[in-house]
C-alpha cells in the first residue's frame, strides 16, 4: 500500500478511503436518531444510488479504498484480529462476546463490526439488548470517513471521538493504518479521555500550518494536545483555531463553514468566516522550537492573510444571508478538492454552485462524468455536482465522506 502523504487540502488526489453506506444507516428508529447523531431517518436505497455517483467520480480520478475491504484484510491476521477485538469489546464493555466472535471468518466479522452484531436469545445474550436488537451497535456514521482519522503530513491522527457511538470507528481506522499502511500513528486518546478531536475540524493548510475548528466535536484539550505534540518534536508549526457555534448540528466541524478550493480561493460561510463581529474567537497558535504562543485575531479570513494566504472567499449560498444559512445547513460549504480548483459537492446548493460558476468553475454533472460524456481532464477549474437528497440529511457533505491518504504536493 502507498505511504501517507497529505501536505495540503488541494493537491491532486492520489488515494482516498471511502465507505459506501450500508444497512447500518437504516438500523435506527425515530427514538434513536439523536443517539445515532442523526436528525432524521435515511432511505438506504436512495442514499446508495446517490453515493454511487460520488464514488464513481472519485474512482475515475484516483485510487479509492473501501473501509470494509481494508478491515476484512486486517482481520485475516489473527494477532491483529485479537488486538482489535479486545480494544473494541473492552471499550464497549462487551468482553462476554470475545469467544463468540474470535472464530468468525474475516469478511463476516468485518460486516458485524460495521453493520452491528444482532441480539440472539439462543446465544444467551444479555436480555437488556433484546429491545435494541443489537449487542454491538451498527456504525451509523461510518460513511463519513473523514472524522475518525486524519492524514497529517506523513502520519495519521487517530481521533478521540466526542461521542461513544463513534469510538469503534477510531479503533477500526487505527488498525487499518497500523496493519495495512504501516503508518506512524498520533493518538490523543492515549493521553487523556477528556481529549476530543475529529477530522472534520482538521484542515491541512500547508507543510507547517493547520486550521482547526473548536466546537461541538473538537475541544480545547484536543487542540492543546496537538500544540504540545508539535512543540515536543521541536518543529515549527502554526495552528489557526476558529471557535464554532455549539447550537446547530450544521456547524459541527470547521469544514462545514470553510474549505480550500485552490491556492487563491476558498468557500466560506460569510457570517462566521468573514465577519469580525461574529462573536466567535479566532486564534493563531505559534509553535517554534518547543515554545508555544497565542495571538487573538480579528476574524478567520484576516487570520489566513496573517499566515501568508491570499484567499478570495466564494460565499456559501451567495450574497443573501437567508440563502447562506439554508445552503450551509445542507453542507453548502463542504466541498472536497480533487485537485487545485477541481472540486465535488452537492448539486442542491444552487446559489453556491452559481457563485462558483461566476468565478470560473465549470459545472459538471456527476452522471456525465460516470457515463463518459464529460472528461474532467478537459477542464481547468470545475465543480462536479452530485444530485443528492438523502445523503445531505446525514449532516455531512463531500469532504465529510472522504479520508485522503495521498496527494501531490502544491507549489504555493
pLDDT in tens, 28-86: 999 999 999 998 899 999 999 999 999 999 999 999 999 999 999 999 999 999 999 99
- Determine the Cα–Cα distance for residues 296 and 313; give it in Å rounded to an integer: 21
The pLDDT of residue 246: 86
Lowest mean pLDDT among 2-6, 122-126, 182-186: 2-6
Grid cell for residue 338? 480533487
Of the candidates 258, 42, 36, the one whose C-alpha atom is nearest the C-alpha of residue 169 is: 36
- Considering the entire predicted model, what is its pTM? 0.96
Task: Tell me how many degrees the CA angle 281-208-267 measures, rounded to the nearest 5.
Answer: 55
Lowest mean pLDDT among 2-6, 387-391, 403-407: 2-6
> Is a pLDDT exceeding 90 seen at residue 272?
yes
Percentage, residues of the chain above pLDDT 70: 99
The pLDDT of residue 166: 94
- Determine the Cα–Cα distance for residues 100 and 102; give it in Å rounded to an integer: 6
For residues 182-194, average pLDDT:
84
- Determine the Cα–Cα distance for residues 95 and 243; give it in Å rounded to an integer: 39
2 pLDDT band, cuts 50/70/90, is low
β-pair type (362-365, 382-386): parallel
- Determine the Cα–Cα distance for residues 54 and 86; give it in Å rounded to an integer: 35
β-pair type (134-136, 149-152): unpaired
The pLDDT of residue 386: 98
- Determine the Cα–Cα distance for residues 287 and 295; give it in Å rounded to an integer: 12
Please give the domain boundaries of the chain with CATH numbers for all domains: 13-72+139-406 (3.75.10.10)
> Is a pLDDT exceeding 60 seen at residue 234?
yes
β-pair type (202-206, 184-186): unpaired
For residues 259-287, average pLDDT:
95
- Determine the Cα–Cα distance for residues 147 and 144; give it in Å rounded to an integer: 6
Start-to-end CA distance of the chain, whole Å, equals 28
278 pLDDT band, cuts 50/70/90, is confident
- Residues with Cβ within 8 Å of 272's Cβ and at least 6 positions away in sequence, in order, are 242, 244, 245, 251, 257, 278, 280, 300
The pLDDT of residue 188: 81
Asked whether the beta carbons of 214 and 243 are under 8 A apart, the reply is yes
> Is a pLDDT exceeding 60 seen at residue 1?
no
Neighbours of 307 (CB within 10 A): 17
Lowest mean pLDDT among 88-97, 239-248, 323-332: 239-248
Q: Which residues of 54-148 form beta strands (DSSP E)?
A: 63-66, 117-118, 134-136
Of the candidates 209, 4, 213, 176, the one whose C-alpha atom is nearest the C-alpha of residue 77 is: 176
> Is a pLDDT exceeding 70 seen at residue 123?
yes
Q: What is the mean pLDDT of the chain?
A: 95
- Residues with Cβ within 8 Å of 224's Cβ and at least 6 positions away in sequence, in order, are none
Amino acid at each position: 500500500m502507498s505511504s501517507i502523504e497529505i501536505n495540503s487540502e488541494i493537491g491532486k488526489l492520489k488515494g482516498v478511503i471511502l465507505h459506501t453506506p450500508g444497512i447500518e444507516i437504516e438500523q435506527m428508529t425515530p427514538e434513536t436518531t439523536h443517539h445515532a447523531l442523526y436528525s432524521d431517518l435515511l432511505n438506504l436505497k436512495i442514499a446508495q444510488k446517490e453515493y454511487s455517483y460520488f464514488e464513481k467520480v472519485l474512482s475515475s480520478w484516483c485510487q479509492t479504498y473501501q473501509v470494509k475491504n481494508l478491515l476484512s484484510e486486517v482481520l485475516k491476521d489473527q494477532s491483529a484480529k485479537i488486538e482489535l477485538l479486545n480494544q473494541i469489546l473492552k471499550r464497549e464493555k462487551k468482553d462476554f462476546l470475545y469467544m463468540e466472535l474470535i472464530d468468525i471468518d474475516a469478511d463476516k466479522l468485518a460486516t458485524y463490526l460495521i453493520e452491528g452484531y444482532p441480539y440472539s436469545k439462543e446465544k444467551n445474550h444479555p436480555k437488556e439488548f433484546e429491545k435494541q436488537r443489537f449487542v454491538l451497535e451498527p456504525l451509523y456514521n461510518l460513511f463519513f470517513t473523514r472524522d475518525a482519522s486524519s492524514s497529517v503530513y506523513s502520519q495519521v491522527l487517530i481521533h478521540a471521538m466526542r461521542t461513544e457511538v463513534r469510538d469503534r470507528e477510531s479503533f477500526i481506522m487505527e488498525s487499518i493504518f497500523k496493519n495495512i499502511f504501516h503508518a506512524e500513528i498520533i493518538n490523543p486518546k492515549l493521553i487523556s479521555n477528556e481529549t476530543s478531536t475529529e477530522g472534520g475540524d482538521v484542515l491541512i493548510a500547508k507543510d507547517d500550518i493547520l486550521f482547526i475548528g473548536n466546537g461541538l466535536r473538537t475541544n480545547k484539550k484536543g487542540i492543546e494536545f496537538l500544540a504540545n505534540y508539535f512543540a515536543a518534536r521541536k518543529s515549527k508549526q502554526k495552528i489557526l483555531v476558529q471557535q464554532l457555534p455549539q447550537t446547530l448540528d450544521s456547524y459541527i466541524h470547521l469544514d462545514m463553514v470553510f474549505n480550500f478550493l485552490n491556492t487563491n480561493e476558498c468557500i466560506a460561510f460569510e457570517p462566521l468566516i468573514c465577519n469580525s463581529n461574529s462573536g466567535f474567537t479566532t486564534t493563531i497558535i505559534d509553535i517554534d522550537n518547543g515554545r508555544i504562543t497565542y495571538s487573538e485575531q480579528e476574524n478567520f479570513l484576516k487570520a489566513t492573510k496573517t499566515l501568508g494566504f491570499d484567499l478570495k472567499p466564494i460565499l456559501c449560498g451567495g450574497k443573501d444571508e437567508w440563502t447562506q444559512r439554508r445552503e450551509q445547513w445542507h453542507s453548502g460549504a463542504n466541498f472536497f478538492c480533487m485537485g487545485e480548483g477541481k472540486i465535488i459537492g452537492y448539486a442542491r446548493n444552487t446559489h453556491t454552485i452559481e457563485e462558483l460558476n461566476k468565478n470560473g468553475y465549470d459545472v459538471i454533472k456527476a452522471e456525465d462524468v460516470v457515463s463518459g460524456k464529460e472528461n474532467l481532464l478537459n477542464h481547468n477549474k470545475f465543480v462536479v455536482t452530485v444530485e443528492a437528497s438523502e445523503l445531505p440529511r446525514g449532516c455531512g457533505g463531500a469532504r465529510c465522506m472522504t479520508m485522503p491518504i495521498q496527494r501531490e504536493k502544491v507549489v504555493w
